[in-house]
Every structure is written in structure tokens, then in C-alpha cells.
């Protein structure tokens, strides 16, 4: 019986992970949940899965929950998330808190020697070297839950990294793949939130529309698999059937295929090195028909180009990229800026930054804070 902790239990990844738990009560049990502000959902999760420890965002909410669930330890805030992440009576931690907020809890789990199922790509983007170094020192495995990185991980099984020629990350292209760039200024929030293939949270859906999500995945792949930027390529594949590929030096290309359903990648990480049923329907290639592939247009989707530039510079530049993107996306979700202004805010923030090699977590968080302040200033300039 594997005891699971889920950081971000009320989000898309968290709820799907709990669906896997519910399908396999003989394989998994829930030890802890970190849930944020969605109290109604976390109440249902607590009643169904009976975790030992739970964290929510606010102290007042924690106090109210404690009265309703007296047998469960209820914590709150960032410190509560970190305690849940490092909970002693657990065997596996799913890191699915969205954004840079997931970094400290993930590091706390690694420090506590807990194997990680990583869905929070931003943690690896902003602190990849620090995170992988600590994981190595603590002998902790990090299993990717992003569908693309899970696909790469599966394609690498039984092969040697020295034989890898390049990694091919597939991208759906989002809802604006075939839309004329001249009309991007008129893109509405409603249009940007309509992903053609995947059901995801609002932030990652906007990232997919700008292709920043793919840019962050490029950085994540480089860190996870120790590959330079030039060996991590992006291929636009609108059907989202091939989740990613690995090309080897002999010309062989290994691909992982499946219907676009995150439960496949989630269940693989949870059960690794075994597999369990996930509830994902079988892939019928005769029904799927033609699979198509395109080169990404980095002029139309400037965010992808910015991510590659940040990766090549390295140091604190990916930290600044991620934070500026979070500020810009939040502003767009709140309808304070237009879709086309997202990459502009990011680019101006990157241009103002002098990258430095971070020595510790504090350096990373300082760069993150600087970027949010600078991006906020750039945002206000655009609003005038």
C-alpha cells in the first residue's frame, strides 16, 4: 500500500490523482492533502479519502475545518504546505501546486527523502539545478507527471542517455495554431481558455495558448534529463496523440502515444515501476486517422522563443521568465491586458534583468520577487 500526499489536491492534476486512488484502494491510500482555497472540494476529499494531515490557505479556514474533522491534523499557509509535503507517514508526494508557490513544498518533500511525482513544472524551471542536486544528495527519485516528460521518461527506459541524439517535445499548438497573427490583438479571454484537446486549469490553458507552456517544458526537460537547449526540440502536433519522442544516435525514434488524458501520466508516476489501470480509454488509430506535424512559429508565438533564450542564458533568467509570465497571465485572466501584451511584459522584464548564478534557494526567491516587481511596473505602463 503506497501512502500518497498530494500538493494541490483540488486542482486538475490533484483531482485526477485522487481518481486513480479511488480506482485502486488496494494499491494507494491518501496520507495528506494541500488544498489552497477551494474548501468545498477539499471537504469532499477529506470525507472520502480520510487523510491524516491537510493544509489550506487561511488560518480561519483551518480552524473551521478542524471543528468538522477533529481526527485530521489541519494546517494552513506556506508552512502548512511544507509540513504536509514532508509528512513522515507517506511514501510518495505529488507536486501539483501551480506556479512558483510549489517550489518550497517540493523542496521540503525532497529534504524529507520523499519520492516526487512532479506536475509543478515551474519548480524545475526556476530551481532545476538546486532541486536535482538535492534529490541526488538525498537519493530521491523525481518522476515527471507532465504528459510530455512522462512520455520522454518512458521512451528512455532500457536505453542509455549517452545514446540520445535529441528530445522531441510535442505541442498541440493551442487554440490559435492556424489563426493569423494580425488578429491576435482581438483574442478574447473566452477564446484563449478553449484548449482544443486538454482539460486543464486556467493558468496552464493560457500558457498553452501562448506556447509558453511548451517553453517551460523545454526548460524542464533540459533540467530533468540533463540535455542542452539545442537538443530539446519542439514539434507541433495538433492531434496530441504522440506525447513526445526521443531520437537516438542510430536514427531510431521512440514515441509514446495515447489519448490526451492526464491520468495516464499520473498513474504511471504513482505506480512506477509497475502500471495500473487509469480509466483512460484505449487509443484507436483507425479512428484517429492522420497525424500531422509542423515546425513552431516562434515569431507568432514569441513566448516559446523567450523561453529558449532564457534557457541558453541560464542562471536566474528562467526564474525571471517564469515569474514575469505568471504576472502577465494573471493580468490577462483578470482582463487587465490583451493577449498580445503577455509576451511584451515578459520580454521587457527579461531585458531589464542581469542574470546571476543562484547559490541557494534565497537567491532564486529574490530573483522571483524582483521579476514580479518589474513585471508589475511593465504592466502598469501598458495600462496607461
Nearest-angstrom CA–CA distance, 249 and 261 = 31
Peptide bond into 273 cis (omega under 30): yes
Residue 341's pLDDT is 96
Nearest-angstrom CA–CA distance, 176 and 195 = 9
- CATH number for the 2-144 domain, one of 3.90.1640.30, 3.40.50.720, 3.40.225.10, 3.40.50.2000? 3.40.50.720
Nearest-angstrom CA–CA distance, 146 and 311 = 19
CATH class of the structural domain 314-384: mainly alpha
Q: Where in the chain is the domain with CATH 1.10.1740.10?
A: 314-384
Query: Are the C-beta atoms of 4 and 90 separated by less than 8 Å?
Result: yes
- Of 337, 266, 294, the closest CA to residue 28 belongs to 266
Residue 384's pLDDT is 65
pLDDT digits (tens, 9 = 90+) for 338-368: 999 999 999 999 999 999 999 999 999 999 9
Grid cell 526556476 in the structure block, residue: 126
Residue 98's pLDDT is 84
C-alpha cell at 67: 471543528
- Of 283, 275, 199, 259, the closest CA to residue 24 belongs to 275
Nearest-angstrom CA–CA distance, 32 and 50 = 9
Q: Where in the chain is the domain with CATH 3.40.50.720?
A: 2-144
Nearest-angstrom CA–CA distance, 157 and 166 = 15
Residue 381's pLDDT is 84
- Give the C-alpha distances (Å, rounded to integers) separating 332 from 57, 78, 101, 112: 24, 26, 19, 37
pLDDT tens digits for the chain (384 residues)?
999 999 999 999 999 999 999 999 999 999 999 998 899 999 999 999 999 999 999 999 999 999 999 999 999 999 999 999 999 999 999 999 988 889 999 999 999 999 999 999 889 999 999 999 999 999 999 999 999 999 999 999 999 999 999 999 999 999 999 999 999 999 999 999 988 777 778 888 999 999 999 999 999 999 999 999 999 999 999 999 999 999 999 999 999 999 999 999 999 999 999 999 999 999 999 999 999 999 999 999 999 999 999 999 999 999 999 999 999 999 999 999 999 999 999 999 999 999 999 999 999 999 999 999 999 999 998 876
Query: Are the C-beta atoms of 109 and 93 separated by less than 8 Å?
Result: yes
The pTM (predicted TM-score) of the whole model is 0.91
Grid cell 526537460 in the structure block, residue: 221
Question: Can you say whether residue 256 is alpha, beta or left, with left for phi > 0 and alpha for psi between -120 and 50 degrees?
Answer: beta
Amino acid at each position: 500500500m503506497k501512502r500518497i500526499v498530494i500538493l494541490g489536491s483540488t486542482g486538475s492534476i490533484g483531482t485526477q490523482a485522487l481518481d486513480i486512488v479511488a480506482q485502486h484502494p488496494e494499491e494507494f491510500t491518501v496520507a495528506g492533502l494541500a488544498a489552497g482555497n477551494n474548501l468545498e472540494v477539499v471537504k469532499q476529499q477529506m470525507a472520502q479519502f480520510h487523510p491524516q494531515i491537510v493544509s489550506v490557505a487561511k488560518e480561519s479556514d483551518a480552524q473551521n475545518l478542524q471543528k468538522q474533522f477533529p481526527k485530521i491534523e489541519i494546517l494552513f499557509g506556506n508552512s502548512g504546505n511544507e509540513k504536509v509535503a514532508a509528512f513522515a507517514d507517506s511514501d510518495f508526494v505529488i507536486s501539483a501546486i501551480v506556479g512558483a508557490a510549489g517550489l518550497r513544498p517540493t523542496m521540503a518533500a525532497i529534504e524529507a527523502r520523499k519520492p516526487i511525482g512532479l506536475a509543478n513544472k515551474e519548480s524545475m524551471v526556476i530551481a532545476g539545478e538546486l532541486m536535482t542536486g538535492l534529490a541526488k544528495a538525498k537519493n530521491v527519485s523525481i518522476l515527471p507527471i507532465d504528459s510530455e516528460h512522462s512520455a520522454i521518461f518512458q521512451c528512455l527506459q532500457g536505453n542509455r542517455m549517452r545514446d540520445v541524439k535529441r528530445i522531441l517535445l510535442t505541442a498541440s499548438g493551442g487554440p490559435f495554431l492556424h489563426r493569423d497573427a494580425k488578429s491576435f490583438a482581438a483574442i478574447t479571454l473566452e477564446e484563449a481558455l478553449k484548449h482544443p484537446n486538454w482539460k486543464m486549469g486556467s493558468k496552464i490553458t493560457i500558457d498553452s495558448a501562448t506556447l509558453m507552456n511548451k517553453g517551460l517544458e523545454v526548460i524542464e526537460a533540459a533540467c530533468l534529463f540533463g540535455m542542452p537547449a539545442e537538443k530539446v526540440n519542439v514539434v507541433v502536433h495538433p492531434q496530441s496523440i504522440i506525447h513526445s519522442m526521443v531520437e537516438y544516435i542510430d536514427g531510431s525514434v521512440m514515441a509514446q502515444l495515447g489519448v490526451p488524458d492526464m491520468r495516464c501520466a499520473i498513474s504511471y508516476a504513482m505506480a512506477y515501476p509497475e502500471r495500473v489501470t487509469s480509466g483512460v480509454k484505449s487509443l484507436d488509430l483507425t479512428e484517429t486517422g492522420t497525424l500531422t506535424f509542423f515546425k513552431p512559429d516562434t515569431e507568432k508565438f514569441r513566448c516559446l522563443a523567450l523561453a529558449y533564450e532564457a534557457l541558453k542564458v541560464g542562471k536566474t533568467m528562467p526564474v525571471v521568465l517564469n515569474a514575469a509570465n505568471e504576472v502577465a497571465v494573471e493580468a490577462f485572466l483578470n482582463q487587465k491586458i490583451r493577449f498580445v501584451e503577455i509576451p511584451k511584459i515578459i520580454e521587457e522584464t527579461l531585458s531589464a534583468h542581469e542574470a546571476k548564478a543562484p547559490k541557494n534557494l534565497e537567491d532564486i526567491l529574490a530573483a522571483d520577487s524582483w521579476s514580479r516587481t518589474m513585471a508589475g511596473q511593465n504592466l502598469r505602463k501598458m495600462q496607461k
